[in-house]
Structure 1
Amino acid sequence: MHINLPNAASTLRLEQLVAKSGFLRLTTSNEQYPDAPGSGLPLLVVETSLCSGVISLQGAHLLEFKTTNGDPLLWLSPNCDFTPGTALRGGVPLCLPWFGVNQTDPTKPKHGFGRNSFWELGKAQLLSDGTAELEFLFVSDANQLFPYDFSAELRMTLGNSAKIELTINNTDTDDFDCSWAMHNYHRISSLTDVRVLGLAGRKYFDNFEGYAEKQQTGDVNFPGPVDRVYPAIDNSVTIKGSPTIEITHSNCPSVVVWNPGAEAAGKIADIGEGQEQFYICVERSAVLGEKWHLPAGTSKSAWMEFKQV
């Protein structure tokens, strides 16, 4: 098996770290998902007494997660394209350093470039309770897309739940603003029956109407396409269905809820006709007016955790 990272030193460090970690296995998307399109990406497989998961080194992207006796909690598209530099459809993509369409330059890539870039695995350990902890690092020098130096750290804690902690460091001499989202694609058994609890009565911005402000009546359901940003949501939210999933957080002020609906899904190559029935996105984030302002030399952190209940 040949693992191809951006440079030989990164590949060697990864192989050495995995060799020391009995709960990690290095593979490729071609081996893990032989029917998926794309030229292939390196993946990490996590297997412990508590859980299993699959992570792409592109984007530090959790693709699959389930506890040993639980149900799969993430949806990965069967049409996910594993071509380097292509955004992966499903799991938990990290949208960074902006979410959605760039508000100052719509020609820039949607959802930033963190999810399309390789991250380095800096640490991997199995804690005494059987929980796996992995730390990834991404360093970005000022460039045409984002003219500031910054780095980002992502700590993934996988056990009886999946917890993802993001830290963004402004390593530049100037202040900057950034937005981000942990873009969770959660597996469901019925789009007709699933509900999102914890948002009733709350204000939201409807992306189908230019982020027009509206108010949520009752729980969120999915009679058609849904693309909404709910600001100032301090409480946890729950996906009520099969499985039922609770999502808690710290310092993730926004909640994004999305499903493209049948017509749009059929036109999106890496989703495909009918696939919208098997997932909803319920994302913890800091977007729109809740984007982060980072003065030069400062850092900010947030975490999101999900589990079956």
Structure 2
Amino acid sequence: MITTNDLYKIGRLKFAMVYLMSTSGTTSLTRESLLGTVANRDFIDLVSSQMAFPGSRGKGLPILRVSTPLFTAHIALQGAQLLSFQAKGGKPLLWTSPNCDFSPGVALRGGIPVCLPWFGPHPTNPKLPKHGFARNRDWQLTNAHCSPSGEAELVFDFDSPADELFAYSFSARLTMTLGSSIKLNLSITNTDTHSFDCSWALHSYYPVSSLNEVRVLGLSGKIYLDNLEQHAVKNQYGDVDFHAEVDRVFPDINNDIRISGSPQIQIEHHNCPSVIVWNPGHINAAKIVDIGAGHEQEYICVERGAVLSEKWTLTANETRSAWMKIKAI
């Protein structure tokens, strides 16, 4: 006997098949893996970017909508990018630009992009894409489950053969644990026969109610490299504020970071020594197509990772891992 719930699952599967077949940004292997993972999990739906973000721009991308008694979230398969998260009864903890371009291969402006296998401009070839290429390619959802309490765990895998962009093969796994908070665990494995250097960051965009009033706590007295002055070494006096453009890399930060404003957010970590703080300011925001004039007032980036001199050197077959946790306080 076919129940109403069975029909619902069949309907979801048919929609997923039709949508994925019409989306150029997914390979047949990704489709097969994704359909198998989503079909029997009632807490995950596959929707279009237009459905997830009404009025959004671009050709469209498949988005996972995850909903449990504890939270709702949206995740792009491209880049395994968590785009939105809101605990039940709480405020949104992530910002996605209203001008984000949801087109295959285009970097998505907002949420938590995974910058890998390099952060910022390529260290030797400025013609290569900024922040690497992992955020521009599809990851595979290889596992997903939800506990009775409503906490969900989703596992995304990425395999990258050696090519013209990066001369070494590697794989990466991003495990998202979502409930009343966000926890992202990133593992990178050198699948090549030679050692290589890689830098990476979880490039988090956080919403703010007032850019003039928000502060980043936990960095006072620390040394930073000023990206606005060719990595000039400076001291941070007091909490970080945003009365003008800010682009700073703080090395060797072991403590937790807090965002004081609305919402108030605490960022915990393991093995993420670098902190990057960024807001383009009003002049640059107007020049960035997927941000736009005035929208710099809506967010700040406080990122954790391993960049510049803190990059990872991975020997053949070596795996290294790090995690970041985000929660409202």
Matches for 1:1-309 after TM superposition, within 5 Å = 1=15, 2-3=19-20, 4=23, 6-309=26-329
One-letter amino acid of the counterpart of residue 216, structure 1? Q
One-letter amino acid of the counterpart of residue 267, structure 1? K
Residue 107 (structure 1) shift: 1.1
One-letter amino acid of the counterpart of residue 80, structure 2? A
The RMSD of aligned alpha carbons is: 0.9
Q: Tell me the alpha carbon deviations over residues 134-169 of structure 1, each in whole angstroms, 9 at most, x when there is no partner.
A: 000000000011000100000000001000000000
State the alpha-carbon separation in 2 of the partners of residues 257 and 226 from structure 1. Answer: 7
Q: Which has the higher Rg, Structure 1 or Structure 2?
A: 2
State the alpha-carbon separation in 1 of the partners of residues 62 and 85 from structure 2. Answer: 17
Q: Contact 2:73/2:84 (CA < 8 Å) preserved in 1?
A: yes
Q: Tell me the alpha carbon deviations over residues 245-296 of structure 1, each in whole angstroms, 9 at most, x when there is no partner.
A: 0000000000000000000001101000100001000000100000001011
Residue 27 (structure 1) shift: 0.6
One-letter amino acid of the counterpart of residue 252, structure 2? A
State the alpha-carbon separation in 2 of the partners of residues 152 and 48 from structure 1. Answer: 26
Residue 15 (structure 1) shift: 1.6
State the alpha-carbon separation in 2 of the partners of residues 67 and 33 from structure 1. Answer: 18
Q: Contact 2:187/2:319 (CA < 8 Å) preserved in 1?
A: yes
State the alpha-carbon separation in 2 of the partners of residues 245 and 115 from structure 1. Answer: 24
Q: Contact 2:52/2:74 (CA < 8 Å) preserved in 1?
A: no
Residue 35 (structure 1) shift: 1.1
State the alpha-carbon separation in 1 of the partners of residues 321 and 29 from structure 2. Answer: 29
Residue 129 (structure 1) shift: 2.8
Deviates further, 4-13 or 246-255: 4-13
Unaligned 5+ segments in structure 2 are: 1-14
State the alpha-carbon separation in 2 of the partners of residues 102 and 7 from structure 1. Answer: 27
Q: Contact 2:200/2:306 (CA < 8 Å) preserved in 1?
A: yes
TM-score for both structures, normalised by structure 2: 0.93
Unaligned 5+ segments in structure 1 are: none
Q: What secondary structure is seen at the aligned counterpart in 2 of 1:83? A: coil
State the alpha-carbon separation in 1 of the partners of residues 53 and 138 from structure 2. Answer: 19
Q: What secondary structure is seen at the aligned counterpart in 1 of 2:212? A: coil
Aligned residue pairs: how many?
A: 309
